[in-house]
Amino acid sequence: MEKISVGISGCLLGEQVRYDGAHKYHSYIQKTLGQFFEFRSFCPEVASGMGIPRPAVQLRQISDHIRVVGVKDHALDVTEQLQAVGPLQADWLGSLCGYILKKDSPSCGMERVKVYKHEVPAKEGRGIFAAYLQDHFPALPLEEEGRLGDAALRENFIQRVFVMRRWRDLCASGLTTHKLMVFHSQHKLIAMSHNQNQARDLGRLVADARPDNLEQVAQRYLLDLMMCLKIVATRGNHVNVLQHIQGYLKTKLEADDKQELVETIESYRIGNIPLIVPLTLLRHHFRREPDPFIEASHYMRPHPAELALLNAI
């Protein structure tokens, strides 16, 4: 499989682009995710012409506006030059399947960036470049490197990246109403594991697609799907999906196999085993009793097994 194009704050790849000429190399991103992702590194502060090294900057509320000013010299204001960087990158940003940002950065921080008000910091800001990404590419999967240490958030982000890759492949092949229906069918169970009500809404949206409104429906579908998938899947929702999948085997399994499957799903529900265990058992049964819907569903294999993401949720 061709690697997936993912943007990233350059310092996380070991590039010495921080204000002090240092980096924030992240080995998991480079060594593990780098096996599957083709990273496009970018530092908005360098791209804006701030140079290396450069004065450290911070977000500061001045009157009713958030400005990016020097930490030591508040007269240094680089707000406009940082704001100008995003639109110049729009072409390549629009081709990405995800973006990994540097936490706490006044340019790249996705959330909870310190905003100084009368010298008192409040973690309520967004970095200038990160805000541009969120506002202009709302369907693009975004995550901060610090949050990748959380197993559920890590799996959530990487799953969304792979879904976006499949969406871009779908669009490149020539979108039709039938292809949109097939795509939704393949991702229906994934959506259900995140939010069952939103999954049903996605199904109704796809059912309304016609050749004359396909483009509008597709744009809304992608945004709604990504908003649904951004909700971290709960153990309870996974149990509901596993039981739904189990229903496809109700007339095909012997009593002892049925009991084993019920017990395995229950063991997952109470937290004794990770998700990979009931999924592996289900895969085993569907190899013997194939079902076209389950076989096509990406829920059964949402991302490469080598990433081992289902072993910790």
157 and 142 together in one domain: no
- The pair of structure tokens assigned to 213 is 């409104």
In the chain, which residue ranges form alpha helices assigned H by DSSP? 27, 44-47, 79-83, 85-88, 90-93, 128-136, 151-172, 177-194, 196-207, 214-230, 235-246, 255-269, 276-288, 292-296
Is 65 among the domain residues? no
Q: State residue 1's pLDDT score.
A: 75
What is the C-alpha separation between 237 and 192, in angstroms, rounded?
A: 7
| Cβ-proximal residues to 176 (8 Å cutoff; 6+ apart), any chain | 211, 214
**312 domain residue, yes or no:** yes
Q: What is the pLDDT of residue 118?
A: 86
Domain membership of residue 67 (yes or no) is no
Mean pLDDT of the chain: 97
Listing from the earlier edge strand, what are the strands of the sheet with 142-144? 37-42, 4-9, 99-101, 142-144
Q: Are residues 173 and 226 in the same domain?
A: yes
Q: What is the pTM of this model?
A: 0.96
Pair (254, 222) in one structural domain: yes
262-271: pLDDT as tens digits: 999 999 999 9
Answer for the pair 291, 246: CB distance below 8 angstroms, yes or no: no
Instruction: Please report whether residue 173 resides in a domain.
Output: yes
Question: Each residue of 168-225: pLDDT tens digit?
Answer: 999 999 999 999 999 999 999 999 999 999 999 999 999 999 999 999 999 999 999 9
Verify that 105 and 8 share a domain, yes or no.
Answer: yes
Q: What percent of the chain has pLDDT over 90?
A: 98
Q: Which of 148, 165, 198 is the last residue of a domain?
A: 148
Tell me, yes or no, whether 180 and 101 share the same domain: no
Q: Is residue 73 part of a domain?
A: no
Specify if 229 maps to a domain.
Answer: yes
Number of domains in the chain: 2
Rounded-to-integer distance, Cα 190 and Cα 261, Å = 20
Q: Which domain holds residue 82?
A: 4-51+78-114+122-148
Size of the chain in residues: 313
Q: Answer yes or no: do 18 and 89 share one domain.
A: yes
Residues 96 and 237 in one domain: no
Q: Indicate if the pLDDT at residue 126 is higher than 80.
A: yes
Q: Indicate the residue among 132, 148, 164 that finishes a domain.
A: 148
Q: What is the pLDDT of residue 207?
A: 98
Kindly state whether residue 178 falls inside one of the protein's structural domains.
Answer: yes
Helix axis angle, 177-194 to 196-207, nearest 10°: 170
137 and 160 share one domain: no
Q: Which residue has the higher pLDDT, 1 or 233?
A: 233
Question: Which two three-digit tokens encode residue 200?
Answer: 């049903």
| pLDDT value for 3 | 98
Query: What pLDDT does 249 receive?
Result: 97
> What average pLDDT does range 145-155 have in this prediction?
97
Query: Mind listing the pLDDT tens digit for each residue in 59-87?
Result: 999 989 999 999 999 999 999 999 999 99
Looking at the domain assignment, is residue 56 inside a domain?
Answer: no
